[in-house]
């Protein structure tokens, strides 16, 4: 039986589909959306969940829907 690949975490999606392709550092994103850089780093590392507030900030910055970040 084939094993399914684990689902990507919101932090992996943020890093692989947004930050890397756009050439944005975690620090630059944090400053742009008004959150501490540590918060973005912990999200990317999978150590912190994305709160509703951070989801709204990411959605505004990237032009997406806040629900897609939760």
3-state secondary structure of 16: helix
pLDDT of 12 strictly over 80:
yes
In order of their start, the domains of the chain are 10-69 (1.10.260.40)
- Which pTM value belongs to this model? 0.85
Tokens of 36: 């501490």
Interval 27-55: pLDDT, tens: 999 999 999 999 999 999 999 999 999 99
Cα 11 from Cα 24, distance rounded (Å): 14
pLDDT of 1 strictly over 60:
no
pLDDT at res. 70: 85
pLDDT at res. 6: 72
Tokens of 49: 């969940």
| Cβ atoms within 10 Å, residue 13 | 15
Cα-based angle 12, 5, 46 (whole degrees, multiple of 5): 25
Q: Is the model more confident about 26 or about 3?
A: 26
């Amino acid at each position: 039986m084939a094993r399914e690949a684990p689902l990507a975490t919101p932090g992996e999606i943020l890093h692989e589909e947004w930050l890397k392709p756009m050439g944005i550092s975690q620090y630059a994103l944090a400053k742009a959306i008004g959150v501490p850089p540590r918060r973005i780093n912990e999200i990317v590392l999978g150590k912190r969940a994305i709160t509703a507030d951070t989801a709204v900030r990411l959605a505004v910055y990237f032009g997406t829907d806040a629900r897609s970040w939760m």
